[in-house]
Amino acid sequence: MFKPFILVVEDDAPVRNLISTTLKTHEYKYIAAPTGEQAILQASTHQPDIVLLDLGLPDMDGVEVIRRIRSWSNMPIIVISARSEDSDKIEALDNGADDYLTKPFSVEELLARLRVTTRRLVMMQTEKGASVFVNGKLRIDYAAGCAYYGENELHLTPIEYKLMCLMAKNVGKVLTHTYITQNVWGSSWENDVASLRVFMAALRKKIEAEPGAPQYIQTHIGVGYRMMKVE
């Protein structure tokens, strides 16, 4: 299995050591940076596959690090933050982060996020420019504008189809409510979370075997949604 090369950005030495030890134990290659400036420099010189980024850094806000990296790279960024407020996660996600972990987190949680992001990376590389998207029983034929669940064609409304394509193109990445509404409806629908919830429920009824225990689309309460890669 592909093992990504990881850049750990964390100013707090005990946390940095915990992450480094976990990565070493699980045979990930990694480098570490204690400041935002060093993080940006290491990201450009070493081209890591995934960045684990603490938001509270001594020299700059982690969101600024995301903006700078996003100006030249799509490398997945998992934000690690002590701040539990949704607004910080949302700001980081809206600036291009892929996922988030809230401190304190367990080693198992960290490893699980890395696996999700690794699957996302593999999918980004293999499906670059592909005209058909396949995830578990779901299949989207972008050229024909059709979607299938197993052998059956899904009868989706135009909005449901757009919503599913957006989630599919960002598989493995947490998308915020604002990002989804802006990309599906345009900015006039910005922050209409209640309407989004209704459309998401309708879509789930069509693609989830058990809409109460969704397999394909995860809810991130107060934040947004993510399509998971299903084996």
The region of 11-19, 20-28, 173-181, 210-218 touching Ca ion under the rule CB under 5 A is 11-19
Check residue 56 for interaction with Ca ion (CB under 5 A): yes
Q: Which of 209, 186, 188, 184 is nearest to 198 (CA)?
A: 184
Is residue 46 within 8 A of residue 116, CB to CB? The reply is no
54 part of the interface to Ca ion, by CB under 5 A: yes
Residue 9 or 180 having the CB closest to Ca ion? 9
Q: Which is nearer to Ca ion, 103 or 119 (CB)?
A: 103
Which is nearer to Ca ion, 54 or 160 (by Cβ)? 54
Asked if 11 interacts with Ca ion (CB under 5 A), we say yes
101: three-class secondary structure by DSSP: strand
Count interface residues toward Ca ion (CB under 5 A).
Answer: 4
Of 229, 221, 172, 177, residue with least CA distance to 199? 177
Query: For 164, what's the count of Cα atoms within 13 Å in the CB-facing half-sphere?
Result: 30
Tokens 């690794």 -> residue: 118
Q: Least distance from C-beta 169 to Ca ion, angstroms? A: 32
Residues 146-175 that bind Ca ion (CB under 5 A): none
61 makes contact with Ca ion (CB under 5 A): no
Distance of CA 225 to the CA centre of its chain: 9
Least distance between Ca ion and beta carbon 58 (Å) = 8
Kindly indicate which of the ranges 22-30, 47-55, 95-103, 217-225 contains the residues binding Ca ion, using the contact rule CB under 5 A: 47-55
The answer to whether the Cα torsion of 69, 109, 84, 185 is positive or negative is positive
Closest CB to Ca ion: residue number: 56
Query: What is the C-alpha to C-alpha distance for residues 29 and 20, in angstroms, rounded to an integer?
Result: 9
> Which residues contact Ca ion by CB under 5 A?
11-12, 54, 56
